[in-house]
Amino acid sequence: MTVQGGDPRIVQLTHRPGVIDLGWGHPDPALLPAAGLREAAGAALDRLGPDALAYGAVRGPAPLRDWLGVRIARTEGRAPAPGEILITGGISHALDQLCTLLARPGDVALVESPTYHLAVRILREHPLDLVPVPADDGGLRVDALAATVATLRRAGRAPRLLYTVPTFHNPTGVSLDPARRRALVELAAAEGLTVIEDDAYRELAYDGPAPPSLWSLAPPGAVVRLGSFSKAVAPGLRLGWLTAGAATVARLADGGLLDSGGGVNHFTACAVAAFCGAGQFEEQVADLRAAYRARRDALVGALREHLPADCRWRAPAGGFFVWARLPDGLDAAALLPRAVEGGVAYLPGARCHLDGGPAETLRLAFGLYPPEALAEAARRLGAVVRAAG
Ligand SMILES: Cc1ncc(COP(=O)(O)O)c(C=O)c1O
């Protein structure tokens, strides 16, 4: 039961024979729009000729920025002004760029815990001093954030940044409660804290529209929202965008990285502009929502059937992840080798905490496999947990 891909000379994804690996937060290669992107790349070359292959405008090609501006205004009710949008190399790249330009080594950055473990690597490489803020079933605890900011201020270590994934969180699947969204942007504006909103999963909403972005709620300048085409179109594009205050966007646009190399991934951005302009983005997102909703339902239904009654998990309303809790006393990291022997793998939840965190949690990603494989993975996981309990 393997999926396409898996040649480590070409792609990041690798397969272990016989293992259904729910540790990868990757989309299924079978769902990537290869034909539409081939057509779009041709259309970009036909339309722009050599301009599609030149050093690009530093903020990204206007057709893509314009398309995004119109779509964001329609779907989020707030239109970014032309100076408030920048094409990026996706979220990871933009996060790295922001740390370079908005922070200095040793600055304090607040991070909700648990969080996207690979963003932590980027933040640490700068190196920023990371301070965790707890989250619960309603997402980031804004009361705890306020207390942490106050404590740090008293110690003369005012934080510069907050990194957060408020919508269809990786790894928990939770979306930040509406009242907390408003409280968070007010607190950030009052404290001069820049919120970096990682919005990777906004388009993958399965039970109605995604909640409003922090960026759409915040006073100008308080939030930098990072968007990505990785999950809604294809991760190999390495393309995304950000919406932020005009001063922040200007800072990035004037930085050495873009001055030297031009706009990020210019040809890809021109091709994606053609893809989006031809209506293919909306079609792709509609197809993905249907496909991933079915996968979420298959996994959650099978967990209900196969996991012992004292396990806990929640069906996410969007994104890629089910966050599960094993019975007390079981350690997900220690159990993983036995799970792999039993033909299933996952990400131990402790990896998503800055400081270890609860050992009995684990993250199950449902993007990569079709429903029948997910049901089989849940059956195998249930057998491993029962044998260990
Ligand atoms: C929360 C989150 N942010 C960012 C990324 C990576 O985004 P990009 O591919 O745009 O760099 C991922 C990928 O899994 C993710 O889960």
Q: What b/e readout covers 181-214, taking b as 16+ CB neighbours within 10 angstroms?
A: bebbbebbbebebbbbbbbbbbbbbbeeebbbbb
Give the domains, in start order, of the chain with CATH numbers. 20-31+282-388 (3.90.1150.10), 42-278 (3.40.640.10)
- Write down the pLDDT at residue 6: 76
Q: Please name the residue whose Cα sits nearest to atom 3 of ligand 1.
A: 200
Indicate which atom in ligand 1 lies nearest the CA of residue 228: 10
pTM, entire model:
0.98
- Write down the pLDDT at residue 2: 54
- Write down the pLDDT at residue 204: 98
Question: Which is nearest to 303 in space by CA: 375, 370, 369, 365?
Answer: 375
- Write down the pLDDT at residue 1: 52
Q: Please name the residue whose Cα sits nearest to atom 16 of ligand 1.
A: 170
Residue 388 alpha carbon to ligand 1 centre in Å: 33
Indicate which atom in ligand 1 lies nearest the CA of residue 170: 1
Indicate which atom in ligand 1 lies nearest the CA of residue 92: 11
Residue 150 alpha carbon to ligand 1 centre in Å: 30
Q: What is the pLDDT of residues 203-229, one digit of tens each?
A: 999 999 999 999 999 999 999 999 999
- Write down the pLDDT at residue 223: 98
Indicate which atom in ligand 1 lies nearest the CA of residue 319: 16
Residue of 230, 241, 321 with the most ligand 1 atoms within 8 Å of its CB, for mutation: 230
Sites in the chain below the pLDDT cut of 70: 1-5
DSSP assignment string, 128-195: -EEEEEEEETTEE-HHHHHHHHHHHHHTT----EEEE--SS-TTT-----HHHHHHHHHHHHHHTPEE
Q: What is the pLDDT of residues 234-252, one digit of tens each?
A: 999 999 999 999 999 999 9
Residue 344 alpha carbon to ligand 1 centre in Å: 23
Residue 200 alpha carbon to ligand 1 centre in Å: 6
- Write down the pLDDT at residue 210: 98
